[in-house]
Amino acid sequence: MSQDNTPKIRTRFPPSPTGALHLGGARTALFNWLFARHHNGSFVLRLEDTDRERSKQEYVESILDAMDWLGLDHDEGPYYQTQRFDRYREAVEGLVAKGRAYWCHCSPEELKQKREQAMAQGGKPMYDGSCREKGLGPGPGAVVRFKGPRTGSTAWHDQVKGPISWENEEMDDLVILRSDGSPTYHLAVVVDDIDMGITHVIRGDDHVANTPRQILLYQALEAKPPVFAHIPMILGPDKTKLSKRHGATSVVAYRDMGYLPEAMLNTLARLGWSHGDQEIFSRDELIQFFDLDAVGKSAAVFDQDKLLKMNARYMQAAEPKRLLEPVRPFLAQRGIQLKPEQEPLLLKAIPELTPRTPTLADLADWAEPYLLEQPVMDPKAARKFLTPASALVLARVRDLVAEIGVNDTQAMEQAFRDLAEQNSIKLGAVAQPVRVALVGRTASPGIFEVMDILGRDRVLARLAAAADLAKNPAETS
């Protein structure tokens, strides 16, 4: 029996904890996670925290919270680059020993002068390699540079963009170890990916220019480069780079606005990837269908309005129990601590509310009147509909509820029509005062559904309170 020697696929997501996880980073994390899950591989989480001044623990926690909210579980990690400095120095020492890197003693002032001189001569502001063959050792302010080839080209087949080639003369000898002993990005990321057995590097196409440098480092470290896949950047609806003017850019901001992770995942997945004409995907379907050959080369457009519509679809399709827990914090923001005895009422209300509530924050707003002892009256609605004339209507409706109950919506609807006819008024002149009495607002689901959700006793109590208020309209001002 033949044995498959193909290495197990391993992807990674390496955010820098210098800010919250933004939409571009979340899309990159999702594509890496989906690719690993699709191929029964492993997904590694690594925090590139070598920028000590800007990296903060609060951002680490924010990134981990966002990943957890999205359900992007990792198989290994999180690894921290600041805990691997000895390994990076070991790799640098090995490159110096093999003649693939060298110590550079050029001062910042000298480097600035070299760059300015090169530009004045019509060249690029590149390091001229003056320390390249001097055989220098460590010293104050010295750095280690990678000795890259001066001729030829570095090429690779990108899984998204296809064949790419880079002339080596376009790349100068990059610094791989700073004067303070810390590694630079290129050295650290390559050593990490080698040590962690990463087989596929899926990242934004702003990293394309980094790839030839990193391939050369892989070769110098005698390691096989991974497969690279550079996914298209994300633009706003106006086709400019996504920024705060297009709406929130961090994942946790959308969580805090009341979006569902399912809607966010679906939206992120569709930014640069497609599967036929299908628009809505379950998590299992995303894992089943995702592969790199369906990732497009063109920039993807993020539209917050489309995300809101997507979220509304998920809200309406969700089982009420699915929304019970995530809506709690939004109710708490409104001063409502959901009690166990209130849960059945809310579960009954949710199917009637979700067609009108595109986010969890909206759901909490619309659910509020059902969960309070008495609704908070909108003064404008009360002044308009809770009048002395409507007091008689409310009293009569209260008698009807006492007689018929609230569960037979057809019977109650007919009773409303009869009441309107008997008093020579429009049906709205009955329904709107009742609506304001029950929810304190002029908008709600169908009035008979509202009565059914609230239950007979609460409806009777609210109608009585509103009738009293209607008799004394001054109290509504």
Catalytic annotation, residues: 244
DSSP for 26-49, please give it: HHHHHHHHHHHHHTT-EEEEEE--
User: In degrees rounded to 5, what are phi and psi of residue 42?
Assistant: -120, 145
Distance of alpha carbon 307 from alpha carbon 241, whole angstroms: 18
| Torsion, CA 210, CA 213, CA 216, CA 222, rounded to 10 | -60
Q: Which two tokens stand for residue 225?
A: 């480069």
Which tokens belong to 376? Answer: 């908070």
The three-state secondary structure class of 90 is helix
- Containing 143, the helix (H) or strand (E) segment is strand 143-146
Q: Which amino acid is at 312?
A: A
Coil, helix or strand at residue 352 = helix
Measured distance CA(164)–CA(213) in Å, rounded: 13
CA gap 175, 261 in Å, rounded:
41
DSSP SS3 for 60? helix
Number of CB atoms found within 10 A of residue 83's CB: 10
8-state DSSP, 318: S
Closest C-alpha to 227, from 389, 429, 35? 35
Total residues found in the chain within this entry: 477
Q: How far apart are CA 96 and CA 54, in angstroms?
A: 30
CB crowding 59-80: b at 16 or more within 10 Å, else e = bbebbbebbebbebebeeebbe
Q: Counting Cβ atoms within 10 Å, is residue 22 exposed (0-12), middle (13-18) or buried (19+)?
A: buried
Q: Is the peptide bond before 375 cis (omega within 30 degrees of 0)?
A: no
Pairing of strands 227-231, 200-204: parallel
235 beta partners:
241, 301
Whether the upstream peptide bond of residue 14 has omega within 30° of 0, thus cis, is no
Give the other-Cβ count within 10 Å of 403's Cβ: 9
